[in-house]
Structure 1
């Protein structure tokens, strides 16, 4: 028996339940992990509330990130053995492969050894944010040295990963946050510039920072009313990569800016990196090198014990966090 987290109805954080369940032995090609820490993501709150891109059959497990020790391996698994310290690459479907539990089972291809210098909490906070930011900025946008990149929701784990990646390649990260409350923390996290979008006029501030040439790469998780000032401040041929939709407001299509400067508006899910073995391998190499050099280092906002999974989700939805929320098991 092992404790896992499931929900039997869609709703707020209170629908999450910790239940005791029998966990079958791993099948051929699978690895079973005794979990030490879980990373908490916005996608899990969306799945729980019934608004995610994947609809969960009830009851359902959830979870995209975990780190722990291999408990057992299935037939045909090579390169891993019981006792190895490993992390999970986020699955395409967290319904089929949920990570919230004391004992979880994943395909061997979704398992990586993490650098021994990382704590369990840090290891559980690596793959979703860094794969997401790498895929957007490096794989798709081809961000390069000397360029500006505008990053919304900058205090999120993905936003902070994007700031680190931009700095690591010599680009200039412009952090966009709602208010000034996190301004100093963003500077300390490596942002070259910080804009509080509810307190400053976003379009002229971006143009001022970039010398009126505009910003070529925008990484946005918000959408809504911020879309128009973002695109208005982009350079000719620029690319806006949309990977979320945090704003409850409608998102207007910025036709004048798109036509006038031949902009590309690109929807993006980290799944497209995870599904492609060659792109995933390139991403893992980049991230491992960054972790080893210290260029990339997960930022942990707060940790909760497993028994407080409901409180962890409530903190996630408070938007008070700066970095990753982690649950220890």
Structure 2
């Protein structure tokens, strides 16, 4: 029978285990996808450890908000899709019930898109969450334009790398922030116009230098927490700050009269909106076709190595996405 990754209690990677379950028939408006690969995301770790802001029902909870595969069966009332179509998942809002860490899952037909031509299976598994989050935050929310100086924190992560590439596709100027100078060359190769390594230089001083003293037009904060206050000094008056991460769960506070427009952002804000998803898909397909958007896969694991995949993720040393293939 098909295999599914589940967990019955919160904790470290070892709480996950693989069980066998029959494949569910798709209901009206749904498709069943035979998953070929899925990516490991921070939300997966939060759900597994008990840190998710949304309630998780135990036992037998599932994981996975991202993946790619081939449509295996089509439910009644589904048009435009058929068995054999390669697709990517665009949203799995009920991941604890039918997440993508599985050989098969059923989802509404509106939650899949054609797999971008030119991507391998591992790259296709790694593209949607990072690139749709970066696109939604920078383009849909912040209104990024050509020539904008865009400061990107946690730039070596999946969303950070996607943001660098998307800024270049628009014609903006991405400035990457990382804690480690050892990552500078890699981020420059990814497309960063400049890299600020905080173990060597202060962020405010470096950003003033790279923007000719004017400051950043957009700040994409993928860390948040109290350190967000320091970003006030790097943004020009009237700039936009988008808080789109949760690496630091501590609250952030700003003084009254902050001269920035501040937005919070979560990807489901747009990935559940079919109109925006259509724009996202067109943008990503064009970027992949032109070679501007190139998902980076750091390492792949097999399904029976999913515990090791999470252990590797938690070390925080990966440069790109971690993908599990089936």
Give how far 1:252 is off.
4.3
Q: Distance in 2 between matches of 1:91 and 1:174?
A: 31
The residue that corresponds to 2:321 in the other structure is 324
Which secondary structure does the structure 2 equivalent of 1:81 belong to?
A: coil
Which secondary structure does the structure 2 equivalent of 1:126 belong to?
A: helix
1:171 correspondence with 2:172: yes
The residue that corresponds to 1:231 in the other structure is 232
The residue that corresponds to 2:143 in the other structure is 142
1:61 correspondence with 2:62: yes
The residue that corresponds to 2:273 in the other structure is 276
Runs of 4+ more than 4 Å apart: none
Which secondary structure does the structure 1 equivalent of 2:51 belong to?
A: coil
191-200 or 100-109: bigger deviation: 191-200
Q: Distance in 2 between matches of 1:251 and 1:66?
A: 31
- 1:1-329 to 2 correspondence within 5 Å? 1-58=1-58, 59-247=60-248, 250-255=250-255, 259=257, 262-329=259-326
Q: Distance in 2 between matches of 1:275 and 1:35?
A: 21
Q: Distance in 2 between matches of 1:291 and 1:278?
A: 20
Q: Which ranges in structure 1 are unaligned for 5 or more consecutive residues?
A: none
Give how far 1:57 is off.
0.2
Instruction: Give a deviation string over 1:283-327, Cα, whole Å, max 9, x none.
Output: 111111111111111111111111111111111111111111111
Q: Distance in 1 between matches of 2:269 and 2:226?
A: 27
RMSD of equivalent CA atoms: 1.4
Q: Distance in 2 between matches of 1:113 and 1:139?
A: 22
Instruction: Give a deviation string over 1:227-281, Cα, whole Å, max 9, x none.
Output: 1221111111111111122136x444231xx625x21221100111112222221
Give how far 1:116 is off.
3.2
Give how far 1:96 is off.
3.6
Q: Distance in 1 between matches of 2:181 and 2:40?
A: 25
Q: Tell whether the 8 Å contact from 2:38 to 2:100 is kept in structure 1 after alignment.
A: yes
Which secondary structure does the structure 2 equivalent of 1:150 belong to?
A: strand
Count of paired positions? 325
Q: Distance in 2 between matches of 1:83 and 1:278?
A: 25
Which secondary structure does the structure 2 equivalent of 1:124 belong to?
A: helix
Which secondary structure does the structure 2 equivalent of 1:27 belong to?
A: coil
Question: What is the TM-score when the length of structure 1 is the normalising length?
Answer: 0.95
Instruction: Give a deviation string over 1:162-182, Cα, whole Å, max 9, x none.
Output: 000001111110111111121
In structure 2, relative to structure 1, the CA distance for the partners of 1:199 and 1:251 (3 Å cut) is farther
In structure 2, relative to structure 1, the CA distance for the partners of 1:224 and 1:197 (3 Å cut) is farther
Which secondary structure does the structure 2 equivalent of 1:259 belong to?
A: coil
Give how far 1:81 is off.
1.3
Q: Tell whether the 8 Å contact from 1:238 to 1:263 is kept in structure 2 after alignment.
A: yes
Which secondary structure does the structure 1 equivalent of 2:35 belong to?
A: strand
Q: Which ranges in structure 2 are unaligned for 5 or more consecutive residues?
A: none
Q: Distance in 1 between matches of 2:312 and 2:248?
A: 18
Give how far 1:206 is off.
1.1
Question: What is the TM-score when the length of structure 2 is the normalising length?
Answer: 0.96
Give how far 1:139 is off.
0.5
